[in-house]
Amino acid sequence: MSFVMTIEEREAFLAGVHVGVLAVGRDGRAPLAVPVWYSYEPGGEVLIWMERGSVKDKAIRAAGRFSLAVQTETAPYKYVTAEGPLVANDEMPTREQADAIARRYLPADEVAGYVDAALNERTILVRMRPEKWLSNDQGKTEDAG
């Protein structure tokens, strides 16, 4: 029996609301692994909103690629990791993009205030195109047919 998710299952899982763990290699140091809010639509790019010049930004620029891992924390356990190249990291997110990411993680009445405080000329939208995937769904069972 394989616990590997299908393409559709892994993309739907990544599109769900999870705190992601961004992982990126760094020369001569341990890889950076840090929790992040993100957005993803099946077949699209992973979007992460962050501060320009942050440790995350610098590491991603230097490596040119990164991974994002998401998981459940209750049984049956599932996880998906997506790895790919940096597509863009110089654009400031639009208000709509920032709202969409914040809305995934905050109650509706807190989104506007959070975005008002956090969206500024120092923030960037990082885009990654998933190329390599790992997945596991411990809830999968043998097909009867």
**Domain definitions of the chain by residue range:** 7-92+122-137
Indicate the CATH number for domain 7-92+122-137: 2.30.110.10
Contact 67, 20 (CB under 8 A): no
Amino acid identity, position 92: M
Q: Cα separation of 140 and 66, whole Å?
A: 28
Contact 22, 92 (CB under 8 A): no
- Full-model pTM: 0.92
pLDDT of residue 140: 86
What Å distances lie between residue 3 and 15, 64, 139, CA to CA? 19, 30, 8
- Residue 91: CA count within 13 A, CB half-sphere: 13
Contact 1, 142 (CB under 8 A): yes
Q: Averaged in consecutive runs of 10 residues, what is the pLDDT profile of the chain (145 residues)?
A: 94 97 95 97 97 96 97 96 94 96 97 97 97 96 53
